[in-house]
Structure 1
Amino acid sequence: MNCQFGNSYTSIQCEDDLTIYFDEYMGYLFVAIGNESSAHMKRYINTCVTIIRYLCGPDVYQLKAKEEKSKLASRLIDSWIHLNSNDQAVFVEAVEQLVVNADLSSATIKALRESVDKLAPQIECNKIHALVLIQNRFLSLYSSQNAKELSSADILFSILLCQSTNLNQSDIQKTSNQITSHQILLAGPDRYPKCLPHVVHIIPLSESVSLLYLLEIGNPAVAASLYENFCHLHTMQLVQIQRDKETLRPAFENLDLATRRLNDSLKKNKNTAIENSHKQLMKKWEVIRKKYQEYLKNTSDEALLRAETLALGFLENLKELLGLTAVDGSVLKYSSKYMKEAAKIVKEKLSVFEEFLKAKSIKNFSLGSYPFEQ
């Protein structure tokens, strides 16, 4: 239905009120089966896709290739199910912000600023967000001047990360030496593609308080153009099945433009592995581009078939470049060494408010209206 007519099914109703729901992302079909309400199932499957986008970006195959990612995805989905049933803020897809007095608000921002100012030169990163959560509630956020704005979806995902690692649960006793770290791809503000590479460190400050540092890594221009290439290549793979030149032409032009942008963004890169992968990608694209142009000019099925075959190798190069530019294990390992000292600043500044924060983690009356954007 989707390939031939551009009209895919979103659900199938079965006997005994059982319904099968579908969603698609980067060529992968997501299926959810249940007898809950239609609205709930749609939110569930949309949330699953969103979580995977945060963990894998446009390369969904990582769920199969990397077991730790698939396990984390499962924990995050389980966390969402729990919070959706027990937390009103998550249920209405909003970020619940604690209402505190001016003294606590000022002290928190000052502590976060001091910790970020100390951390930035140590880890050679000037794009940092520092976030304090009380249980599953948002207390305060400080972002360095060069850091791109966090979206409400980014904050909600951060809450899910904390929940999934059990850092905010009541059975944790003053475990400030425990740090949980992940590499993720944030959504960022609306004007950016949903593929901004970050390292996140989660540090429990007390039984109910968690501190998160989000470090922007890589090149945002490379990340943006890579994401565009994945999207437009996926569109090409869908429309070329129809063998309709008028549909294929704009899809090809968009992919060609995205590839040129990626080429421009990678030209100044000095990393040998990235340079080699970049050269291979562009060599493959030159051949593919000529084959698509040949088809658009002469309607040569042989040329289109050759382009389709070569596109598989092109996709593998895109995945390789994504791994080289969006994933940096050295940054994750190196930066984690400095997290404890930075966190001490925040912990000491907030220690005088500890009992108050414990009480606020249980009872809070204000619900912020920050919509969760898929």
Structure 2
Amino acid sequence: MLGILIFDQLNDIIYIKSDIGFLRHVQGMAVAQGLNSPSEINDLKKAVEANILVQLFSPLLTSHQVMDLQFGNPYTAITCHDGTTLAIHKYESCVFLVIGQAEEEWLQRLLSTVVRLTKLLVGPCVTVLRESKERRKVFGRLIKAWLHASASQQCYLVEAVERLVLSPEVTTAAVQVLSQVLDKMKSKQSRSSGGALLPCHALLLVRNKLLALYSSRSAQELSACDVLLLNLLLQENQDQSEASSLQLLLEDDCTLSPGSARTEGNSQLQEVEDEGSTLQTVTLEQLEGEEQQILEGVSCHSVLMLLKTELSVFTPHLVHYSVLHPNLALIVVSEIGRSRVSGSVMSLLQCVAGLSSGRGTHAVDVCEATLLQTLQLARKLTPNSNTDAIAHALDKVELQWHHCKTGGLLEWREGDQDVEMSSRLESALTALLDAVRVAWKLISLPYSPSTGGSLVAAACAQQAALYAKEKLASYAQFLDVKAMTNSKFECRALTVNKYMDDFPGLVHFIYVNRSTHELTAPSLDPLESETCDADGPSNQFLESCQATRQLTKERVWTMFEFARSHLSSGNFSVMWKDTTFSYAYFLWFEDRNGVAQIPEQLDEDVLAALPLPGILSEDFYRRLTAHCVPALSPDQVQVCEVLCVHLGLVTAPCILEQTRRLLASVWEVAGQGTSCHPADLL
């Protein structure tokens, strides 16, 4: 059972996505409380009405709001007597719920990912998910893609980018192709869109492994988190039949939108009219369906995403992605020309949101200056179809700001801490926040695949994709094979798929450079391991292959989650074993010279304030570094983590000794030769 729900501040539903088990569970609760008839409990085709969901969850939402606003201690999770767990998070006055019977930590991770995907697609305007069918569909696909990827791919398990290791000649050729792709798109879009779109990044991925990344000189840095999120776009187009047995993929998609009528049918859109709020049930086939523009064998897809840059945490980018050859994909990221004014409005929104707390006039002066800067930038926007709407929205922001100042904002900020805000001023600030969000939405979310500018950009991206497909045609099969056996790369001391020869008893390892969030690990697919045996394996290698086949992904996933739970508690070195295997996990810090840094002890309050380990929702490791090595800037510290799986008979001293030698070999493979001092794991 699994359900994802988003409620607005009035407890109305913005978005709901669930599997059949959750719908059956909700229907049973509705019957038990007299909100539905018993004859409908087994009718899974009948959607759960929106007012029933509101009645069932309103007491919880109201209690959560009271705990948050009055006591500053909102719920984060609730476990019921039947084993059902609810993970709860509040973002932009909206409450996000993930409900299921899985472990609380996994539900919290799913919840943080859902919030991150919301920020990626709609930023602070969560209600857009209710208003825009296009945004809603992309949102649902990305959730489904993450569920599949996190259960099957190591890069999403550890939240790090896996690179495809090739010869310098092949990598250079791929980078040159990407450079030419960006040049072609820049020249064509500069003539057609007048500089409204600025192509800045191009990526090639083979079987979800990063082959090459090229960025223009003026582009903001593309983070590892952004690469993982962009890679999710490709996940939705891949065959996910093997994941159907994982019972993690959502089988039904329920969304809310106004003004529709209900019709019966299995494959048709079903809607329930309820006096202004309407519930739609979308089948899995409709969820996976997408209009594709196909030209000469290359399908080009476009989506607007809000990536983190130095300008803003929500910088609008138009992303084009195409499958060039089987398992070989191209992604081109173009920054929208409104990025500066969008970032200025976002800064204004953050300033206004902070006015209700604290005292002093400095924050008011900052808001005033940010508003003036926003108005100046908005006047320089290139005229288009919604320029007048933007001007009108900013005029409303300016008017609401005037109402706040005349409503006693300065007097309240200069007053005593014990003086509560008047209802008039509180209403004025709420109206100002709403006005700023509307202005940001008009500036940052104007693009869709159906608009004229996006169609022109898609045509340019498609022509660039055709060029890349032609240039990489002779490499396609080679790249696909190398991606399947990515771990078969050699150095002086290590051939990873034959590492058992040099490290007896070692079954699997995962190494991540947390400064760059790059992953190095052998494949967990036994079929790939068997194909890496062209030179005639030793008996030890065959025995290790059998051990690899016995080592299921579920065991590795459980092992890593266990290590991550100890990391959240402040334990950086953990060793344990079960009846079959011995496990070891280490995380350590080094300076730029490779000298290990001794971390400071963290108290419980600091650990509780840290996010979940990973980088998708927030960079846990950067915040951890700031607390553990305060004497150095996080940019001056290299964070590394390694997890090893050995056969149960291997002793702890042998595990430590092998881990040191393994790291030295991996550093040579991964090109980290500057780390001249392997970490002192003892």
* TM-score bucket (shorter structure): 0.7 to 0.9
**How far off is 1:193 after superposition?**
3.1
Kindly report which structure 2 residues correspond to 1:58-137, keeping only aligned pairs within 5 A, or say none: 58-124=124-190, 125-137=197-209
- 2:302 matched to 1:181? yes
Q: Give the corresponding residue for 1:284.
A: 400
Q: Is the CA contact 2:348–2:370 (under 8 Å) kept in the aligned structure 1?
A: no
Q: Give the corresponding residue for 2:372.
A: 263
- Alpha-carbon distance between aligned partners in 1 of 2:152 and 2:103, rounded to the nearest angstrom: 17
- Alpha-carbon distance between aligned partners in 1 of 2:297 and 2:116, rounded to the nearest angstrom: 30
- Alpha-carbon distance between aligned partners in 2 of 1:256 and 1:327, rounded to the nearest angstrom: 28
Q: Is the CA contact 1:54–1:184 (under 8 Å) kept in the aligned structure 2?
A: yes
**How far off is 1:170 after superposition?**
9.0
- Alpha-carbon distance between aligned partners in 1 of 2:152 and 2:172, rounded to the nearest angstrom: 30
Unmatched 5+ residue regions in structure 2? 1-66, 191-196, 242-293, 490-510, 518-613, 618-682
- Alpha-carbon distance between aligned partners in 2 of 1:264 and 1:231, rounded to the nearest angstrom: 15
Q: Is the CA contact 1:132–1:211 (under 8 Å) kept in the aligned structure 2?
A: yes
- Alpha-carbon distance between aligned partners in 2 of 1:368 and 1:107, rounded to the nearest angstrom: 26
- 2:219 matched to 1:147? yes
Tell me, what secondary structure is at the counterpart of 1:15?
coil
Cα-to-partner distance string for 1:84-104 (whole Å, 9 max, x where unaligned): 111111011111111111121
Unmatched 5+ residue regions in structure 1? 241-246
Tell me, what secondary structure is at the counterpart of 2:334?
strand
- Alpha-carbon distance between aligned partners in 2 of 1:23 and 1:44, rounded to the nearest angstrom: 11
Query: Aligned letter for 1:263?
Result: L
Tell me, what secondary structure is at the counterpart of 2:82?
helix
**How far off is 1:40 after superposition?**
1.2
Query: Aligned letter for 2:303?
Result: H
- Alpha-carbon distance between aligned partners in 1 of 2:233 and 2:126, rounded to the nearest angstrom: 19
Cα-to-partner distance string for 1:288-324 (whole Å, 9 max, x where unaligned): 1332224345789998322222334323322332233
- How many percent of aligned residue pairs carry the same amino acid? 28
Of 327-336 and 191-200, more deviation after overlay is shown by 327-336
CA separation of 1:368/1:118 partners in 2, compared to 1, >3 Å: closer, same or farther? farther
Cα-to-partner distance string for 1:36-80 (whole Å, 9 max, x where unaligned): 223211111000000010000111110111122122111111110
- 2:317 matched to 1:198? yes
**How far off is 1:133 after superposition?**
1.3
Cα-to-partner distance string for 1:324-365 (whole Å, 9 max, x where unaligned): 321343432221111222112221221111111121333322
**Aligned match of 2:463 in 324, 331, 341?**
341
**Between Structure 1 and Structure 2, how many residues are aligned?**
360
**Aligned match of 2:479 in 357, 361, 364?**
357
Which is helix-richer, 1 or 2?
A: 1
**Aligned match of 1:225 in 316, 335, 344?**
344
Query: Aligned letter for 2:116?
Result: T
Tell me, what secondary structure is at the counterpart of 1:29?
strand
- Alpha-carbon distance between aligned partners in 2 of 1:34 and 1:254, rounded to the nearest angstrom: 42
CA separation of 1:170/1:19 partners in 2, compared to 1, >3 Å: closer, same or farther? closer
Q: Give the corresponding residue for 2:69.
A: 3
Tell me, what secondary structure is at the counterpart of 1:5?
coil
Q: Give the corresponding residue for 2:330.
A: 211
Q: Give the corresponding residue for 1:372.
A: 615
Q: Is the CA contact 1:34–1:41 (under 8 Å) kept in the aligned structure 2?
A: yes
Q: Give the corresponding residue for 2:438.
A: 320
Cα-to-partner distance string for 1:235-265 (whole Å, 9 max, x where unaligned): 55xxx5xxxxxx4426x85466245314313
Query: Aligned letter for 1:339?
Result: A
Q: Is the CA contact 1:208–1:361 (under 8 Å) kept in the aligned structure 2?
A: no
Query: Aligned letter for 1:203?
Result: S
Q: Is the CA contact 1:218–1:326 (under 8 Å) kept in the aligned structure 2?
A: no
CA separation of 1:24/1:358 partners in 2, compared to 1, >3 Å: closer, same or farther? same
- Alpha-carbon distance between aligned partners in 1 of 2:437 and 2:224, rounded to the nearest angstrom: 28
- 2:410 matched to 1:293? yes
Using the size of structure 2 for normalisation, the TM-score is 0.49
- Alpha-carbon distance between aligned partners in 2 of 1:290 and 1:57, rounded to the nearest angstrom: 30
Query: Aligned letter for 2:185?
Result: L
Q: Is the CA contact 1:199–1:215 (under 8 Å) kept in the aligned structure 2?
A: yes
Which is strand-richer, 1 or 2?
A: 2
Q: Is the CA contact 1:129–1:144 (under 8 Å) kept in the aligned structure 2?
A: yes
Kindly report which structure 2 residues correspond to 1:18-37, keeping only aligned pairs within 5 A, or say none: 18-37=84-103
- Alpha-carbon distance between aligned partners in 2 of 1:176 and 1:258, rounded to the nearest angstrom: 51
Structure showing greater radius of gyration is: 2
Of 9-18 and 97-106, more deviation after overlay is shown by 9-18
Query: Aligned letter for 1:325?
Result: I
Tell me, what secondary structure is at the counterpart of 2:359?
helix
- Alpha-carbon distance between aligned partners in 1 of 2:92 and 2:161, rounded to the nearest angstrom: 28
Query: Aligned letter for 1:318?
Result: V
Cα-to-partner distance string for 1:138-185 (whole Å, 9 max, x where unaligned): 111111111111111111110111112x0x4499x9984311111111
CA separation of 1:186/1:282 partners in 2, compared to 1, >3 Å: closer, same or farther? same
Tell me, what secondary structure is at the counterpart of 2:305?
strand
Higher relative contact order (CA 8 A, sep 6+): 1
- Alpha-carbon distance between aligned partners in 1 of 2:428 and 2:436, rounded to the nearest angstrom: 13
